[in-house]
Amino acid sequence: MVERPISPLSPEAVERYRAGELLKKNRNREICVCGHSMNFHTEVGERTVCSPAKMRCKCVKGRPILEASNLRMFMYSTSGIGSEHALGKGLTASIAHGASFTWVGGEGGPATCDICLEKTLDPIPVAVDTLNGQPSVIGTGVDKLVCEECYLKWATE
């Protein structure tokens, strides 16, 4: 049997809206290392497709690293390293607007460096050039979160 459709102009639809039944409940507050909400990531076979807003991110594997109170702060594109990375721009915007965030996997504590695996209070997001493994100033689809010491060693290799 086919379910009876409800007219969007009906009092029943308005009542369901007011009760919150028609609203999409978005509970996932996780942010990927690429700098975008995990809600924008879709698994397609072995790859991940990240499509925030009207742009296409090159992220190839979603990896949640923090939870944010305001996902709108994480809608930027990568144009460099650190504060110029999409994640860096989102973190800076969150702080500037008073939005909160907590790192995933560390009981809300500091982030972990992807190179030395030590905790760091001031992580630097970096896009990785997939051809030579060096830091890149453009988004490549492979991103790391590193401490300043590891970044300086890595960038001067």
Tokens in use for 86? 């999409």
Report the distance separating Cα 16 and Cα 22, nearest Å. Answer: 6
**Residues 89-106: what's their mean pLDDT?**
91
Q: pLDDT digits over 26-78, tens only?
A: 678 999 999 999 999 998 888 889 998 888 899 988 999 999 999 999 999 99
pTM: 0.81
Q: Where are the domains of the chain?
A: 26-155
